[in-house]
Structure 1
């Protein structure tokens, strides 16, 4: 199947015969590319507030409280007639959103690649998610089903939008600048997440002085994330542009069938598939640390909720510096070596976490600092490295598989964490068990010859990779 994407400027465009027109055309093309890149950064800036304030901090405890208010005498709610412990409802809703996203992402990616029109789909996903998040303002009383539905819609919309957002990266950044552009995108996201979280915490902790109940303050914080998402999504939607794709037409298929078709196609690029396997494993460890660190802090280290929230904020702030700093390292040492270094740092961080003394916030803050410094960079460089391994014209389709590795398949780590705790009764043993994900991911990534992988995908090889 042949594909062709039109270039940003045709060779010699604007040439007046003496080279001046070509130079002017080159400058115009460079300026247009920078404009697109700056617009692209702002989608991370827009949607990361949802991940930080809604998912990480406020929604879980609040939706659980709403579910408990609706529970029967035995502590169960009954969505669709199924008995569910109120304390498990949030986790089940997140799992349901993953299933929905996995069904939709491959289909959306294939449609975007077939028609070359990512922007309308990005707009639809972004504003569906922003509207669902804003609607959380009405989540109160015992309306736990409304909360679950809004969570499923918002989470799935975010995942779909990230497929389309990531697929722009190889189109707006040349091979040698992709690490930097990806890192700046993550940095923009962590910056907005930290900024809005500070505002949310001021409102939440001072809700009495604002004449608000605690529940009303939480609902305002949730809704503000949706309004922020929708407002700043305007910038990338105005600046990003679609490329015309000439591609053999084909019928739309279901999400699972498209996923299978994508994976079959990826067998033609085994080195790309090898990188995706390594990423799936070490990213599973990253996502598990993110989701379970607060449990480790509260249950094993006996830390207060305020301490945990400050630690989340610290991670957000330092992840900005980490993403930018590792982006610079990648320009010198290459993305692969820098990612390998970050995986080694992750392993050392978990080993240090195993020995943290209880009821000592300062050491937990030190651990959060270490996580923040490697978190943004490892995510940003993984995205940019994968973008080099994607065949031209299949960006959205391949990034749907990547996004499912990022969001839809990260369940083994939590299972290992939970089983280790169940067997040993120690969260310290559970946290140290996650080292295996970073060690195995390190070994698998080290074995991927990335230069050959880039060449096999038909892409130009950057000077440093």
Structure 2
């Protein structure tokens, strides 16, 4: 009798051990996945947000003619707009590459080698920024284009792992923790950058040399910590029939045609495309606004961005908890309202008053991480199984890809008006329109239409 009982209990025990092993393996991958945010977010923070905008603008001004224009490829460009236009150009390059990379990853099932190639291309280009100096604005623009495009491609592949390494109910938490890891590393490296920049005389460095060391250090950090996710993440077997690889534009068209079968997913993507364009433009242009319009010192900008990083960790985790209670959609809508208010406050900031700029940075930090993390996790519920990388290539074009409109609007507004205040307030329309479009998406029906289980709260 006892032997019979033991035999009957064994399948359940085996199932329990199997489930526990699967959960442990999933946690291991999740922890590795977090570290790609930890690796690459330093680029977004130290390079794109703090140092490169003002530095490349200064290099372009040094190379400008008497009227304040540089002439890349013979095109007259106001030196103050060169950085914004370079960001836009990097996005257009990314648009050509991301759909092809996403489709190739889905068809081959080999995300990891593609992630490694993109990560180390971006890290190398960022490290190469050490050689910017004098009037090398063309080199600066080229390295920015390569690094930004490589980051975009790597994020397609990185984000595509999210639905594979987490259950539906885990995704808001996992996505938020990834962003928190990224902001933590960004804050830590920014402290080191602040020490180097502020103490450049003590280190026997010029101010420009200190900036170039800070830029290059981001590339070294990116490459070093990318090793962790590349060791822990694993490729999955392909779950759909392989098809021919297409060119970037043809693959984008094919992906969008396929997404027409899921119009609610497409509706969410359109809303995200618009409001995230505003987010990405604020991130990339805030330091230029602070230095050129408000007359703030570089050290002030570093401290302000450091404040953003610290509060963004709390914001990402806090908004993750709000999403667990109120749902992702409502929480994102609240963050978009806060973004619009933040830009309105930024328009009226007095010049040369760091305390008010710090207050603005605090507002940005509290909504930045959460709005991005929850958007990523919400979209992961809307992706049909087996098309993760392909669909996330379209998502990434909204995240870093089609975000060329905002910088272009910012640059044109400044070129026409000569005022960065007018340029910054022009971005409010992105958040207002994105709010309206997102509010109209029935997310529960969208998840069901994609063939995925609906979480208890979304």
Q: TM-score, normalised by structure 1?
A: 0.88
CA contact (8 A) 1:129 1:155 kept: yes
Distance 1:19 1:319, change over 3 A: closer
Q: 1:269 to 1:220 in 2, by over 3 A?
A: same
Give the Cα separation in 2 of the matches to 1:198 and 1:400. 33
> Residue 71 of structure 1: CA displacement?
5.6
Q: Is 200-209 or 243-252 further displaced after alignment?
A: 243-252
Give RMSD over aligned pairs.
Answer: 5.9
What is the deviation of 1:440? 2.1
**Whole-angstrom CA distance in 2 between matches of 1:429 and 1:151:** 25
CA contact (8 A) 1:43 1:233 kept: yes
Are the aligned partners of 2:88 and 2:404 in contact in 1 as well (CA < 8 Å)?
Answer: no
Whole-angstrom distance in 1 between the partners of 2:148 and 2:355:
33
1:397–1:65 distance in 2 versus 1, CA, 3 Å = same
Does the 8 Å CA contact 1:6/1:243 hold for their aligned counterparts? no
Q: Cα 1:414–1:150, aligned 2, differ >3 Å: closer, same or farther?
A: closer
The equivalent of 1:285 in structure 2 is 278
- Deviation, 1:208, is 1.3
Deviates more, 1:30-39 or 1:66-75: 66-75
Give the match for residue 205 of structure 1.
198
Any idea what the Cα deviations from partners look like across 1:272-324, whole Å, max 9, x if unmatched? 00101111121122223333434444455444443233212211111111001
The 1-side partners of 2:402 and 2:164 are apart by: 26
Q: Report if aligned partners of 1:3, 1:392 keep a CA contact under 8 Å in 2.
A: no
C-alpha change, 1:63 and 1:112, in structure 2 (3 Å) is same
Tell whether the 8 Å contact from 2:91 to 2:404 is kept in structure 1 after alignment: no
Q: Given that residues 12 and 22 in structure 1 are in contact (C-alpha distance below 8 angstroms), is that contact kept between their aligned partners in structure 2? A: no
Alignment of 1:356-371 (within 5 A): 356-371=349-364
Q: Contact between 2:53 and 2:287, CA under 8 Å: does it hold in 1?
A: no
Cα distance 1:371–1:126, how it changes in 2: closer, same or farther (>3 A)? same
- Structure 1: runs of 5+ lacking an equivalent: 24-29
Give the deviation of 1:57 after TM superposition: 1.8
User: Does structure 2 retain, via aligned residues, the 8 Å contact 1:319–1:374?
Assistant: yes
Distance 1:2 1:427 in 2: 81
**Segment drifting more, 390-399 vs 416-425:** 416-425
Q: 1:298 to 1:391 in 2, by over 3 A?
A: same
Query: Which residue number corresponds to residue 2 of structure 1?
Result: 2
Task: Give the deviation of 1:235 after TM superposition.
Answer: 0.4
Name the SS of the counterpart of 2:11 in structure 1. Answer: coil
Q: Deviations over 1:81-131 (max 9, x none)?
A: 656555554344333321211100000000000111100100111111111
Q: Distance in 2 between matches of 1:140 and 1:4?
A: 79
Q: Work out whether residues 84 and 410 of structure 2, in 8 Å CA contact, stay in contact via their aligned partners in 1.
A: no
Alpha-carbon displacement from aligned partner over 1:375-417 (angstroms, at most 9, x marks no partner): 1000000000000000111111111111111122224434555
Compute the displacement of 1:154 (Å): 1.2
Mark the CA change 1:75 to 1:261 in structure 2 (over 3 Å): closer, same or farther.
same
The answer (yes or no) to whether the contact 2:53–2:284 under 8 Å persists in 1 is no
- The answer on whether the counterparts of 1:166 and 1:399 sit within 8 Å (CA) in structure 2 is yes
- Partner-residue secondary structure (3-state), 2:12: coil
Structure 1 residue 249: Cα displacement: 2.2
- Alignment match, 1:233: 226
Q: What does residue 340 of structure 1 align with?
A: 333
In 1, the alpha carbon distance for the partners of 2:314 and 2:62 equals 42
Structure 2 distance, partners of 1:392, 1:443, is: 28
Q: TM-score, normalised by structure 2?
A: 0.89
Gaps of 5+ in 2: none
CA distance in 2, matches of 1:3, 1:317: 59
Matched pairs, number: 458
CA gap 1:309/1:145 in 2 versus in 1, 3 angstroms: same
1:268 Cα deviation after fit: 0.3
With over 3 angstroms needed to count, the CA separation of the structure-2 counterparts of 1:66 and 1:281, relative to structure 1, is closer
Q: For the Cα contact (< 8 Å) 1:339–1:382, is it kept in 2?
A: yes
1:227 CA drift (Å): 0.8
Change (3 A) 1:334 1:114: same
1:403 aligns to what?
396
The aligned runs of 1:182-331 (5 Å cut-off) are 182-298=175-291, 300-331=293-324
Shift of 1:197: 1.1
